[in-house]
């Protein structure tokens, strides 16, 4: 797998651009989305659906309730215009504008939700037609809500956490780049693999050229993922970053683009997760602290809050390269 | 992958036919569907479902509302035949045919949507039975609508745009066939690969024989797809089209059948997209214009409206073959 | 793929049994299901779900409506026992047993569907409790119906048709076993592959032993599947069936177990289809008739009703082996 | 596949931990979940969803009905506080506290289910607002129930049964470790493969070190799975367990971690199943009894209740190693 991808990316042309007139900040946003503006696309129903599918539950429910309230107010206005006297059981009408409108609102909600007590009921053709329409619309609205709730539920949402930083750590007799990740949930991910692509910007002939390299990893896949996984790229002769010092990394504009593939056994499907680190995220001469251990009952415990915990390495710990 | 497929297609027998008495226009329609008429198939519920699943939202809603209205009118007729006097609260009946029928319609809608105000209610056995039936049917209808809405939502619909034309462009010291594609959405497609099969018709022994070849591509897969992808087939000695001039392409009846495979990370599933170009779509001596660039904020911008933009190549630009 | 599978099946132990005391008719039913009786399994909700998911629409709707009617009758009996005088608006009660029960039924349906006109309404604690329960049950029932409708819709149901017979046909200078298949729908299947496993029964040491062989196929996969696909196993020296004559096939108890893998582009998922032929399905010295051709408009036409059409081969056509 | 995985696990670092201060009981629970405690994770809506998706149907319905009842009681209290005199048709109020609250409860259920007979209906602004809210909430609740029912249905739940024990059985001229599994359902699983990883704990330098080995299997995949599958690891020179006697297995703290991959043809998706055996599950010198046979009608019968049936091997049966 990694060999195949490396070959692709060594080719002259690649998915990202080779050279641009302006400097490109980063190709992937920290959350993993492409940092690209798309002009001239058509807007469709599916785009609303995608947006709702990815929206937070709070946003979704606010919007759903908001739409329901707005539609009801709209129909209330229509009933008010037709005349509250066309609603049976409206009682004394014309006493106050507000009271009549309240009747219209209550009738609207009783129709939209199809609760239809009948204490309020439409009289005459116009209000009957509008009420029929509103009842159908109400049912369709809740059909839509049902479909969207299930869509949101069924979207596999892997909660993979990445360390904030990418460290240059002592490793055997040299140094290595390390970041780590952990699954926030207990049980879902198996058969994971990871690819790390580094993009380096170089100014050449007045244009900002990009150099791309796939990094060799000490281990690029695991079968189970019960604990954390520290991904290690050894900074040896085979590394494209070998000749640059750690401070050099921070000065050059590097971008590490990470693609994780895994099988989500809860949803039984392959999942891809993207993440991106830039030069500012590099910490020199530091190492991650252990996140887990076995407790007295013989059960492994992992503390997710320690994901970003690292300690700086004192000189005596550093091995000479 | 491509090697395996090529081997298959080099075999004597293939998925498409080898020879026919009449000329075959094209195997794939421009949208990618097979251009085949199928006789003698059975029609099933699943066929309606597939049709609705692929129908546009406008068509779907028109049909859904249309069916609801028709069913209600049908039940209205039944209530009218049973007699509007069997609807409690119908008021003065028999005044006018239209007024009675309106009452039947309103009662039908109040029953179908289960709003059931009760201002109108069934009296006697026949109208009670019909009303019970209609209420059940109403709920089943909205169950169906809910299921279909979700089905339409959950269908992965990749919005992959292909350039209208396939160009013969200058390429290094020779020429190449080029078409390009772009994802209308920002974020969904990764790990794309493409195969291009060309079919050439030759009249032989009174039959229209077909010759099939898989074309070698400069690059046949990419990891990310943030920008556009120009697919390039170099017209060198290894190409089955090498000895034909560009005008020759236009005269012969070529068909380029394109299969794109990618992983849709929104829906977490593999997707295949098909597209087809014929001889008329070929433009000689032209090259595509750049669609994207980095703006001052360091963010890449791509303009989808430039997908089909190409400029003709003047003689001095053309390299001698 | 086929090589890997052959190796597995050449091993001494295999998925099916090697030897049994009684003769085994066939391992796969014609429809492709395992012909195995399973005793001692637990019965769960999922089993009902699976059964409903695979049931025909007619069966599903009959059952759904039947359950709704039965539940309503059950509640009607409860209301009748509580007393129809506990239903407001029941009119003159006690006139006839049938009239009272009809009132109970109508009230039950109005509650179950939540139409609740109110012309009939519960009075007192017992009938109110039962009515509340019934309304909740009614909504849950339609939730279940909605979920099941979608489940039935979303199940990828490939309509792959197999020829009734497997023919021994003239092929080049020898003979070959041939069966063919066609997709009843226009557009869904791509990247198909097929495996054919033959099981031969031999009586040995008082036990019925089984010999398994994967058959070599002239072509075992195709990219597109617009027309029919004739699967061909050449009866040459490499075939395990080489030394048996066609009538010998019919006398011995052979079973051809077929596994087809394909990608269903409508549902974007891999599908496996199984089918099985036995000795009785073999036709000697016959060949399939062409199912398709190009019409005058240059469009391919395929006639599905010709799937089983074959003609017997006269002596002069047969090539000597 | 197995070769790739073995290589990974032979590496120094692995998914599970190498060494801990305390002894680790087992990495996988018998049901296959990771035996890991996760601290500091955030709790989200998706976690509730996952829990409900995996909950038993009895638990799900109890919870669903419980929530519906609680919400109705809550609204009943609100109506009671507002005053039952604000419910039209409440009849004589104030007669008894219980009678008034019963009216509030009935009105609440009639609103929540949208049955809305109207015999009870809200009067005035506060009760109308609360009733509108409750009707909307009722519909949303049943939308959620519908979505969850479908989610529970659509989750592929393979009923793969493992034998309680792992046996050391006579095998050819030596011995082998054997466990077996069977599909409780008839038809769903094909193309199965299995991997067995053994973890051995060794106390070293005051820490509990772990040694991991992938076991060679006589057969690691099958095409069909109609009967039971006995997985066999031969205890020969190539086995990491070769030099340990069976009683030695029981004394050392071994853990066999099993990963089964298969294709579920009912749901058309890949499924992974995990299982784990520890030293206590080992039975020395025993062999499994046959679970199936052909009946007189020539149909294979398998008795799932015999899954755990084994007989101890008498000395004369044991072959000398």
Residue C268 is nearest to which of B25, B144, B269, comparing CB atoms? B269
Nearest CA distance, A203 vs chain B (angstrom): 14
- Cα distance between residue A80 and residue A65, in whole Å: 22
- Quick one: pLDDT at residue C316? 58
- Between the CA atoms of D17, D22, D27 and D30, what dihedral angle is there, to the nearest 10 degrees? 180
Contact B41 C185 (CB under 8 A): yes
- Exposure string of D58-84, with b = 16+ CB inside 10 Å and e = fewer, is eebeeebeeebeebbeebbebbbebbb
What is the average pLDDT score of chain A? Answer: 85
- Cα distance between residue A185 and residue A267, in whole Å: 13
Domain ranges of chain D: 2-37+159-317, 45-154
The 10s digit of each residue's pLDDT in A254-306 is 899 999 999 988 888 889 999 999 999 999 999 999 888 888 887 888 899 99
- Cα distance between residue B310 and residue C1, in whole Å: 44
What residues does C210 pair with on adjacent strands?
C201
B80, B101 contact by CB (below 8 A):
yes
pLDDT by position in tens, chain D (length 321): 333 333 333 333 445 666 666 677 788 888 788 888 888 877 788 888 888 988 889 999 999 999 999 999 999 999 999 998 889 887 777 778 888 999 999 999 999 999 999 889 999 899 999 999 999 999 999 999 999 998 888 887 778 899 999 999 998 889 999 999 998 876 678 889 999 999 887 777 777 777 888 899 988 888 888 888 999 999 999 998 888 888 888 777 889 999 999 998 888 888 999 999 999 999 999 999 988 888 888 788 889 999 999 999 876 555 543
Task: Look at the block and give the residue holding tokens 């036709």.
Answer: C283
Q: How far is CA A209 from the centre of its chain?
A: 30
Please give the C-alpha separations between residue C178 and each of B8, C228, C232, C256, C284, in angstroms, as whole numbers: 19, 13, 5, 12, 11
C41, C35 contact by CB (below 8 A):
no
Residue D61, C-beta contacts closer than 8 angstroms, at least 6 positions apart: none
Q: HSE on the CB side for A216, CA within 13 Å?
A: 11
What residues does D189 pair with on adjacent strands?
D264
Give domain B159-317's CATH number out of 3.40.50.720, 2.60.40.1400, 3.40.50.300, 2.60.120.620: 2.60.40.1400
C16, D299 contact by CB (below 8 A):
no
Residue B8 is nearest to which of C219, C295, C298, comparing CB atoms? C219
What is the average pLDDT score of chain C? Answer: 85
Task: Determine phi and psi for A124, rounding to 5 degrees.
Answer: 85, 170
Residue D24, C-beta contacts closer than 8 angstroms, at least 6 positions apart: A294, A298, A299, A300, D17, D201, D208, D210
Closest of C317, C314, C18, C285 to residue C169, by C-alpha? C285
What is the average pLDDT score of chain B? Answer: 85
A230, A257 contact by CB (below 8 A):
no
Closest of A115, A90, D130, A123 to residue C118, by C-alpha? A115
Helix, strand and coil in chain A, % to nearest 5 = 35, 30, 35
Q: Which residues does chain A have within 8 Å of residue B190's beta carbon, measured at their own beta carbons?
A: 259, 272
Q: How do B166-171 and B221-224 pair as beta strands?
A: unpaired
Contact A88 B113 (CB under 8 A): no
Burial of C70 from C-beta contacts in 10 A (0-12 / 13-18 / 19+): exposed
**C215 three-state secondary structure:** coil
CA diameter of chain C: 93
Closest of A220, C1, C8, A232 to residue D7, by C-alpha? A220
Domain D45-154, CATH class in plain words: mainly alpha
Give yes or no for residue B116 having a pLDDT over 80. Answer: yes
Across the B/C interface, how many CB contacts are shorter than 8 Å?
A: 191
Residue D303 is nearest to which of C40, C151, C154, comparing CB atoms? C40
Closest of D300, D159, A266, B48 to residue C50, by C-alpha? D159
Q: How many beta carbons lie within 10 A of that of residue C215, not counting itself?
A: 23
What residues does B211 pair with on adjacent strands?
B200
- Cα distance between residue C222 and residue C193, in whole Å: 7
Task: Determine phi and psi for A251, rounding to 5 degrees.
Answer: -75, -40
Task: Look at the block and give the residue holding tokens 């890449």.
Answer: B300
- Cα distance between residue C312 and residue C169, in whole Å: 9
Compute the average pLDDT of residues A13-20.
Answer: 58
Give yes or no for residue A5 having a pLDDT over 80. Answer: no
- Cα distance between residue A104 and residue D127, in whole Å: 15
The 10s digit of each residue's pLDDT in B267-313 is 888 899 999 999 999 999 999 998 888 888 878 888 999 999 999 98
Nearest CA distance, B201 vs chain C (angstrom): 12
- Exposure string of B18-28, with b = 16+ CB inside 10 Å and e = fewer, is eebeeebbbbb
DSSP secondary-structure letter at A34? B
Task: Look at the block and give the residue holding tokens 């108890």.
Answer: C253
Give domain C2-37+158-317's CATH number out of 3.40.1210.10, 2.60.40.1400, 3.40.50.1110, 2.40.10.10: 2.60.40.1400
Give yes or no for residue A224 having a pLDDT over 50. Answer: yes
| Closest residue, chain A, to C143 (C-alpha) | A146
- Quick one: pLDDT at residue D216? 92
Nearest CA distance, D135 vs chain C (angstrom): 12
- Quick one: pLDDT at residue C20? 67
- Cα distance between residue A102 and residue A304, in whole Å: 52
Task: Look at the block and give the residue holding tokens 């491509």.
Answer: B2
| Closest residue, chain C, to A269 (C-alpha) | C269
Nearest CA distance, A59 vs chain C (angstrom): 25
Q: Angle, nearest 10°, between helix axes B125-154 and C97-112?
A: 20
Nearest CA distance, A141 vs chain C (angstrom): 15
Please give the C-alpha separations between residue B252 and each of B25, B201, B239, in angstroms, as whole numbers: 12, 8, 16
D3: part of which helix (H) or strand (E)? Answer: helix D2-10
CATH architecture of D2-37+159-317: Sandwich (2.60)
- Cα distance between residue D247 and residue D237, in whole Å: 18
- Quick one: pLDDT at residue D16? 60
Q: How far is CA C20 from the centre of its chain?
A: 28
DSSP secondary-structure letter at B43? P
Using the Cβ of C118 and the Cβ atoms of chain A, whether some distance falls under 8 Å is answered with yes
- Quick one: pLDDT at residue A16? 60
Residue C109, C-beta contacts closer than 8 angstroms, at least 6 positions apart: B128, B131, B132, B135, B136, C72, C115
Task: Determine phi and psi for D315, rounding to 5 degrees.
Answer: -50, -45
C197, C213 contact by CB (below 8 A):
yes
Q: Locate B119 and state its tokens.
A: 């201002």
Q: Which residues does chain D have within 8 Å of residue A218's beta carbon, measured at their own beta carbons?
A: 11, 13
Percent of chain A with pLDDT over 70: 90
Closest of D134, C153, C57, D60 to residue B146, by C-alpha? C153
Task: Look at the block and give the residue holding tokens 């599970």.
Answer: D16
- Cα distance between residue C89 and residue C154, in whole Å: 45
- Cα distance between residue C228 and residue C230, in whole Å: 7
Percent of chain C with pLDDT over 70: 90
Q: How many beta carbons lie within 10 A of that of residue D51, not counting itself?
A: 12
Compute the average pLDDT of residues A160-165.
Answer: 94
Closest of B234, B250, B230 to residue B242, by C-alpha? B234
- Quick one: pLDDT at residue C184? 84
Q: Which residues does chain C have within 8 Å of residue B42's beta carbon, measured at their own beta carbons?
A: 184
- Quick one: pLDDT at residue C10? 39
Burial of C25 from C-beta contacts in 10 A (0-12 / 13-18 / 19+): middle
- Cα distance between residue C31 and residue A189, in whole Å: 36
**C305 three-state secondary structure:** helix
Q: Which residue has the higher pLDDT, C62 or B154?
A: C62
Nearest CA distance, D94 vs chain B (angstrom): 28
**C115 three-state secondary structure:** coil
Burial of D320 from C-beta contacts in 10 A (0-12 / 13-18 / 19+): exposed
Mutate to test the interface with B, among A117, A139, A207, A258 (most CBs of B within 10 A): A139
Contact D15 A226 (CB under 8 A): yes
Give yes or no for residue A188 having a pLDDT over 90. Answer: no
What residues does A300 pair with on adjacent strands?
A294, D36
The 10s digit of each residue's pLDDT in B41-62 is 777 888 888 889 888 899 999 9
Q: Which residue has the higher pLDDT, C163 or D34?
A: C163
Q: Which of residues 67-86 of A touch B (CB under 8 A)?
A: none
Q: Locate D128 and state its tokens.
A: 């109308």
**C310 three-state secondary structure:** strand
Mutate to test the interface with D, among C120, C147, C154 (most CBs of D within 10 A): C147
Compute the average pLDDT of residues A218-236.
Answer: 89
Nearest CA distance, C235 vs chain B (angstrom): 18
Using the Cβ of B146 and the Cβ atoms of chain D, whether some distance falls under 8 Å is answered with yes
Residue A14, C-beta contacts closer than 8 angstroms, at least 6 positions apart: A8, A212, B222
Give yes or no for residue B98 having a pLDDT over 80. Answer: yes
Where do the DSSP E strands lie in D120-239?
A: 121-122, 160-162, 166-171, 174-183, 189-204, 207-214, 221-224, 228-234
- Cα distance between residue B187 and residue A203, in whole Å: 28
Using the Cβ of C220 and the Cβ atoms of chain B, whether some distance falls under 8 Å is answered with no
Contact D114 B114 (CB under 8 A): yes
Reported confidence tier of residue A127, pLDDT bands at 50, 70, 90 = very high
A163, A179 contact by CB (below 8 A):
yes
| Closest residue, chain C, to D188 (C-alpha) | C33
**D158 three-state secondary structure:** coil
Reported confidence tier of residue A33, pLDDT bands at 50, 70, 90 = confident
- Quick one: pLDDT at residue B145? 93
- The conformational region for residue B89 under phi > 0 = left, psi -120 to 50 = alpha, else beta, is left
Using the Cβ of A146 and the Cβ atoms of chain D, whether some distance falls under 8 Å is answered with yes
Task: Look at the block and give the residue holding tokens 């099969």.
Answer: B197
Compute the average pLDDT of residues C211-219.
Answer: 88
A5, A214 contact by CB (below 8 A):
yes
């Amino acid at each position: 797998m990694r060999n195949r991808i490396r070959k692709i990316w060594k080719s002259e042309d690649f998915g990202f651009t080779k050279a641009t007139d302006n400097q490109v900040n980063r190709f992937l946003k920290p959350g993993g989305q492409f940092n690209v503006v798309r002009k001239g696309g058509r807007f469709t129903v599916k785009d609303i659906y995608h947006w709702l599918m990815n929206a937070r539950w709070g946003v979704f429910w606010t919007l759903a309730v908001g739409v329901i309230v707005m539609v009801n107010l709209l129909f209330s206005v229509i009933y008010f215009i037709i005349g509250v006297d066309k609603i049976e059981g409206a009682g004394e009408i014309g006493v106050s504008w507000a009271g009549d409108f309240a009747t219209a609102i209550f009738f609207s909600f009783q129709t939209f939700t199809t609760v239809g007590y009948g204490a309020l009921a439409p009289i005459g053709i116009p209000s009957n037609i509008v009420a029929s329409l509103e009842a159908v619309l109400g049912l369709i609205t809740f059909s839509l809500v049902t479909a969207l709730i299930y869509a949101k539920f069924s979207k596999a949402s892997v909660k993979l956490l990445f360390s904030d930083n990418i460290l240059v750590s002592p490793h055997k007799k040299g140094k290595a780049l390390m970041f780590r990740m952990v699954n926030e949930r207990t049980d879902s991910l198996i058969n994971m693999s990871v690819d790390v692509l580094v993009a380096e910007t170089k100014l050449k002939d007045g244009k900002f050229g990009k150099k791309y390299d796939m990094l060799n990893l000490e281990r690029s896949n695991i079968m189970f993922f019960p604990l954390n996984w520290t991904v290690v790229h050894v900074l040896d002769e085979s590394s494209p970053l070998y000749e640059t010092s750690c401070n050099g990394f921070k000065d050059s504009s590097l971008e590490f683009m990470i693609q994780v593939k895994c099988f989500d056994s809860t949803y039984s499907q392959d999942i891809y997760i993207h993440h991106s680190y830039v030069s500012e995220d590099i910490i020199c001469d530091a190492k991650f602290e252990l996140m887990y251990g076995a407790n007295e009952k013989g059960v492994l415990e992992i503390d997710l809050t320690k994901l970003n915990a690292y300690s700086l390495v004192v000189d005596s710990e550093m091995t000479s390269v």
